[in-house]
Amino acid sequence: MAYYYAEPCHTFNEYLLIPGYTGPDCVPSNVSLATPLAKYRPGKEASRLTLNIPLVSAIMQSVSDDRLAIALAKEGGISFIFGAQSIRSQAQMVAKVKSYKAGFVVSASNLTPDSTLTDVLNLKEKNGFSTIAITHDGSAHGKLMGIVTSRDYRISRMTGSEKVSTFMTPFSKLVTAPESVSLKEANDIIWDHKINALPIVDNEGCLKYFVFRKDYDSHKDNPFELLDEQKRFRVGAGINTRDYKERVPALLEAGADALCIDSSEGYSCYQADCLKWIRDTYGSSVIVGAGNVVDADAFRFLADAGADFVKIGIGGGSICITRETKGIGRGQATSVIEVAAERDKYYKETGVYVPLCSDGGIVYDHHMTLALAMGADFIMLGRYFARFDESPGAKVMVNGAYMKEYWGEGSNRARNWQRYDLGGAGKLSFEEGVDSYVTYAGSLRDNVELSLYKVKSTMCNCGVKSIPELHKNARLTLVSPTSIIEGGYHDVTLHTNATSIK
């Protein structure tokens, strides 16, 4: 007969942390949120990739593109660029992230000398960049003819039909640098000449890159930036179990720092085959995660198959309806607790620590701390990041409030059939996700800063100053339905609902 679990599964909302002793040095500023992404042998070697904050963005069309990847890397996390697109376009997104923080940025806004002021204004409105390169053919690497910035024109005194050649700063008046210049030298030139942008040109006078003053300032403002050895932003990418033999090489060539097999359910021969091919082809040089799983057996299967990290969670996402349509899944808290116990057992047996990623089920900021306390090393978030300016979804007005579009990979809109592939026909036979809106929340930086301050504050309440300490010392308790109600405001009338009587 079928196997029945004796206990029901639970969600994060059914648990609370018990406070521990808080010493005088246990303050948020002393808390480290650094955490490993790739497996390693503690005491013998360090993880090949360590995050500065325990947040990664979901492998979703409505969440993880190059823009959000740059914003999250600035804060110390990493994005996994969505894979439900052509190999070429995904690799281009990865390359954009890698080139962005190298300090040498490929120009994203370009026009020709024959373009007009109207073209300048339209391009600025579209891309949001005030520096526009003027090349002979309007390409990013054409012969540089000049530059246009907001200081070169006054809309109130111009008609819009003026040609760029009549008001641009011409090449002869520009401060430029050769391709051989280092980033430090480029920044010195910027400061010495009091300019905001330095064009980097080759021997033929063709534009190669820009170095911007704001990137230097940005680094000073973002001390936790997640950078590689060449001072470039770290970025990940999602792959599937169909075209990985073509997709993986392209992503690695573009500079991807980590890969993750994107699947709604990872306990399969397809993920094992994918992992085997990557290990046979690249050995241990490529960081690749796998999942998703909800129990000990599935974790061990993927760990033995060569996964660098394992993702936990089936059906817990806010836009996921897998549990409704297929009847599979498990409460996220129970899943993390069981898989973490098996991870620790695996470490004792093999000496290899395999990091865990909790994916889904995060509704409130305190759920992040609970996921980490239960054994997760980092957290993958979709809805959370979809709310921000930097996400790909459109910002729209719905019922008088600003919202952001957010759709699941299993929705009819995304049609990411590879994520739900079981070796059958190449199509999405039925939906496992919905098309929705989430409340617009502003910039990624402001929200992440606040969320992680809450995490650090809670960790201090528990008497710990690092995620490993939280794993070891956290004490958690299940709460009753009545306790959950008691946890919010109750038996009062909110002041905002009162009407004054004169």
Give catalytic residue positions.
320, 419
Q: Which residue has the tokens 């280092």?
A: 182
Cα separation of 259 and 488, whole Å? Answer: 40
Which residue intervals of 362-466 are DSSP H helices? Answer: 365-373, 383-386, 444-461
Cα separation of 270 and 284, whole Å? Answer: 19
Cα separation of 109 and 199, whole Å? Answer: 13
Which residue intervals of 168-212 are DSSP H helices? Answer: 183-193
The token pair at 405 is: 């579009």
Q: Is 224 exposed, middle or buried (0-12, 13-18, 19+ CB in 10 A)?
A: middle
Cα separation of 114 and 116, whole Å? Answer: 6
Nearest CA to 433 among 451, 457, 415?
Answer: 415
Residue 282 makes CB contacts below 8 A (sequence gap 6+) with 252
Question: 447 preceded by cis ω (within 30°)?
Answer: no
Question: Cα angle at 307 between 341 and 228, to 5 degrees?
Answer: 110
Phi, psi at residue 167, to the nearest 5°? -135, 0
